Structure 1
Amino acid sequence: MSRRVTIRDVARLAHTSVSTVSAAFSTHSSIAPETRQRVLEAANQLGWRADRRASQLRRSDYVVVGVVYEVQQAFQAQLVDALYAAAGKAPGVELFLAGATAHHSELECLRLLLTERCTGLILTGAGLASPHIIEAARTMPVMSLCRSVDLPGVDEVYSDPDQGEDHAIEHLVSMGHRDIWFASAPGRSMGEEREAAFSAAMERRDLTSYMRILRVGDTVGAGVATADAIVEASNPPTAVVAYNDMVGAAIVRRLRQRGIRVPEDVSVVGYDDTDLASDPTIELTTIYQPGEAMAAKALELLNQRMTSGMAGEGEEQRISFPARLVIRSSTGPVRQ
C-alpha cells in the first residue's frame, strides 16, 4: 500500500515551508504569486488537496455541530433547513448531518458524529435511548430540539404541546364536536407529551368519556390504520387529532378513499404545519410549531455552551415556544 501524501511532502517538493504551503491555499494570504504557483504545481504533481475542515478546526472560533435527524420525517427535514439558515448567520459554525433511516439507526448516526470531531450535537429524532444521550453529553454540549428529554447536562428547545392541543380541542368543540379521537405515537418525539396534552384538554371540558386514543405511530401507515378504525367503528368520532401532519394527511386521504367526507363527516387536525398540510388536495388544519425560531434558538444556546463550557447538572436550559392553530378546510361543524 502506498503512503498517503502529506503537506510536508508538498513543502519538500516545492522547496518551501509547511506554513507557506498552507498559506498558498488560503484566499487571504499575501505570499508571492510565483511561490503560490510553485506550491500548486507541487500539490498537483503529488495529488494532494488541502483539508479545509482540518485547518478550520485549528481555529479557536470554529465549531462543528453534528445534527441527528430522521430522513423520513418532514418536520425534522424543515428543522435541518432552518438550522442551515441559522448557521449561515453564525460565522465559524458548520453543520455535519447524520440522517437516520430504516437501515441506519439514530444510534449509528450518533456514533458517526462522535468520531467526526464535532464540538456540539443537536438531536431532533426520538430513537436515541437516554443512556446514549447522557454519555454523549459527558463529552460535548448536547441540544435536544423538539423533544423533551429532561436529562442532566442536556439543553432543550421545543414547542408547548399543552397549548397546541388545547387550541385544537377548543377549535373542534366550538364547532360542536364531542366525540374526538387522538392518533398517538408513543415513543416518538413529544409523543407522550402530546397524548397527555390531548387528554388534559378533553378533561378540562368534561369530555373524557367521549375521547378515544389510538396508539398507532407517526407514519402514513398509522394514518391509514386510524382511518380504517374510524370507518369500522360502531360509534365513530366526528373529529380526530393526529400526532403529526403525515398521519393527519393519510387519515384525510384514506377516509375519502373509503367514502367518508372530510370535514362533513369527520374533521381532521394535524401537528407541525409542514408543507404537506398546505397541499391544496388536503388543506389540513394543524398546530403550527415555529421551526425557524426554535432552530435559531437551539443553535444560539448550543453555540454558547460550546464557547463557554458544557452544561452541568442543574444548569440545563429548557425553552418552550408557543404553538398556534392554523385553520384550513379539513375541519368544519359537527355533522347533524
Structure 2
Amino acid sequence: MESDGGARPRRVTIRDVARASGTSITTVSVALSGGAGVAEATRARVVAAANRLGWRPNRRASALRRLDPRLVGLVYEVEQDFQAMLVDAVYTAGAANGLEVTLSGATRHHRERRCVAELLRDNVQALLLTGSELTDGDFAHLARELPVMSLCRFVRAPGVDAVVSDDQMALGQAIGHLRELGHREIAHVDGGDVSTLSARRRQAYASVMEEQGLSDQVRVVRGGSTLAAGAAAAHALIGEGRTPTAVVCYNDMVAAGLSRTLRQLGLRVPEDVSVVGFDDGPTAADPTTDLTTIVQDIDGIAAAAMGLLARRIAADALVAPGQEELVVMPTRLVVRSTTGPVRLGS
C-alpha cells in the first residue's frame, strides 16, 4: 500500500525481523525481550537480523502489549455513530477472545491510510478495518503482511476475511414494511461513490424493488454518510418535481438529515414522506428523530470477527488465497415514528 503523503518512513517491525530470521513473530518477540524458551542459536539469529535491519523497540507498542501481545489494530470512522458502538462491541469481544485492541480514528484530516500506517508501526498482529477509503487492492497488499479483517464491508481481496450484515435481507425488511403501508413510490438515497458498501445496498434496493414488482419505481438519489448528505438529498428529491412517498436511506445520519430538511421544506414525516434509516445508532433512537431503521447485530458481528481473528493469530500464518471466510449476519427492522401509511391520493 502506498504511504500517505508526508508520512514518516515505515518503521522496521518484528514481523520484518521474523521474515529475515526465518522464525515466527512469537519467537522474535520472546528472543528480543530476553524471555526463556528460545534456543541460543535461534536467539542469535534473531538478534543478528534485527541489527541488520535496524530494528528498534517501539516504546508505545511495548507499553500496549504483553509478551504474547495478540494485539489487534482497529481503524474506525470517528464521525459515524454506528462505528462508535461497534468499537465498544469489539473491545468486549476482544477481551472474550484474549485479544487486546488499539485504535486509530479516521477523520477528514486524518485519513484511513494514515491510521493503518500508525497501527503497523505499533506492530499489531492483525488489522480490523471498518472504513470506506481503502481499495480492494490495498486490502490484498496488507493481507500479504498480516491477517486482515473487513468489518461491515464486503471486500473481494485474496487473504482478507470479512464479517458483514445481510444487505439483501435488510432492504427486503425495509421495503417490505413500506409496501405493507401501501407505498409504491419508494426511493433510495445511497452512500455515494466511495464505499463498496453503498454499491451493495444500492444493488439490494434495486433487486428487492424488482421482486416487489416495482422495477418502474426504482429511483436512486446520490447521498453519502452524513447529515449534510441527507439534507442535500432532500433538496434533490424536491427539485426533481416528483417527491416519493417513501425513502430508504444508506444510514441513519443520512436519514436524519433528510427528515429534518424535508420538514424545513414544508413536508410532513411520515404523513407526506416515510423515511427509513440503517444502523439504529444513537441518532435513530433519539426522541427528536425517532427513526424507523434497520438494526445490525453489533455484538454478533464483533464476536464473529474477533473469534475468527483469534484463530488466525493463533495459527501464526497468513490466510491463503481461496481460504478467506465471509460471515453474513442477519438484520431486523425496528419501527418508530418516521414511517406511516401512504398519503391519500398517492
Using the size of structure 1 for normalisation, the TM-score is 0.82
Matched, 1:83 2:114: no
The answer on whether the counterparts of 1:184 and 1:217 sit within 8 Å (CA) in structure 2 is yes
Specify whether residues 189 and 75 from structure 1 end up closer, same or farther in structure 2 by C-alpha distance, changes over 3 A only: farther
**Which of the residues 242, 254, 269 maps onto 2:276?**
269
Q: Which residue of structure 2 lines up, in the alignment, with residue 316 of structure 1?
A: 324
The answer on whether the counterparts of 1:141 and 1:311 sit within 8 Å (CA) in structure 2 is yes
**Which of the residues 108, 127, 147 maps onto 1:121?**
127
CA distance in 2, matches of 1:215, 1:52: 42
**Which of the residues 104, 114, 138 maps onto 1:108?**
114
Q: Which residue of structure 2 lines up, in the alignment, with residue 6 of structure 1?
A: none
CA distance in 2, matches of 1:108, 1:55: 21
Q: Which residue of structure 1 lines up, in the alignment, with residue 301 of structure 2?
A: 294
Matched, 1:54 2:62: yes
Residue 53 of structure 1: CA displacement?
A: 5.4
**Which of the residues 99, 110, 130 maps onto 2:105?**
99
Q: Which residue of structure 2 lines up, in the alignment, with residue 187 of structure 1?
A: 194
Matched, 1:304 2:311: yes
CA distance in 1, matches of 2:141, 2:216: 43
Residue 205 of structure 1: CA displacement?
A: 1.4
The number of equivalent residue pairs is 287
**Which of the residues 229, 234, 239 maps onto 1:232?**
239
Tell me the alpha carbon deviations over residues 163-185 of structure 1, each in whole angstroms, 9 at most, x when there is no partner.
00011111101111011110011
Identity, % of aligned positions:
46
Residue 58 of structure 1: CA displacement?
A: 6.2
CA distance in 2, matches of 1:56, 1:218: 33
Tell me the alpha carbon deviations over residues 215-272 of structure 1, each in whole angstroms, 9 at most, x when there is no partner.
2211111100111123333221000000000000111111111211000000000001
The answer on whether the counterparts of 1:146 and 1:189 sit within 8 Å (CA) in structure 2 is no
RMSD of equivalent CA atoms: 1.9
Specify whether residues 332 and 121 from structure 1 end up closer, same or farther in structure 2 by C-alpha distance, changes over 3 A only: same
**Which of the residues 170, 181, 188 maps onto 1:164?**
170
Specify whether residues 142 and 220 from structure 1 end up closer, same or farther in structure 2 by C-alpha distance, changes over 3 A only: same
Tell me the alpha carbon deviations over residues 271-324 of structure 1, each in whole angstroms, 9 at most, x when there is no partner.
011111111111111111001110111011011101112211111000000011
Within 5 Å, give how 1:66-81 maps onto structure 2.
Answer: 66-81=73-88
Q: Which residue of structure 1 lines up, in the alignment, with residue 214 of structure 2?
A: 207
The one-letter code of the counterpart of 2:340 is G
Other structure's SS at 2:294 match:
strand
The one-letter code of the counterpart of 1:81 is D
Structure 1 gap ranges (5+): 1-21, 23-50
- The structure number with the bigger radius of gyration is 1
Residue 189 of structure 1: CA displacement?
A: 5.3
Q: Which residue of structure 2 lines up, in the alignment, with residue 243 of structure 1?
A: 250
The answer on whether the counterparts of 2:97 and 2:306 sit within 8 Å (CA) in structure 1 is no
The answer on whether the counterparts of 2:189 and 2:221 sit within 8 Å (CA) in structure 1 is yes
Q: Which residue of structure 2 lines up, in the alignment, with residue 331 of structure 1?
A: 339
Point out 4+ residue stretches in structure 1 off by more than 6 angstroms. Answer: none
Q: Which residue of structure 2 lines up, in the alignment, with residue 19 of structure 1?
A: none
Specify whether residues 63 and 280 from structure 1 end up closer, same or farther in structure 2 by C-alpha distance, changes over 3 A only: same
**Which of the residues 142, 153, 162 maps onto 2:159?**
153
The answer on whether the counterparts of 1:125 and 1:189 sit within 8 Å (CA) in structure 2 is no
The one-letter code of the counterpart of 1:67 is L
Other structure's SS at 2:150 match:
strand
Specify whether residues 56 and 282 from structure 1 end up closer, same or farther in structure 2 by C-alpha distance, changes over 3 A only: closer
Q: Which residue of structure 2 lines up, in the alignment, with residue 26 of structure 1?
A: none
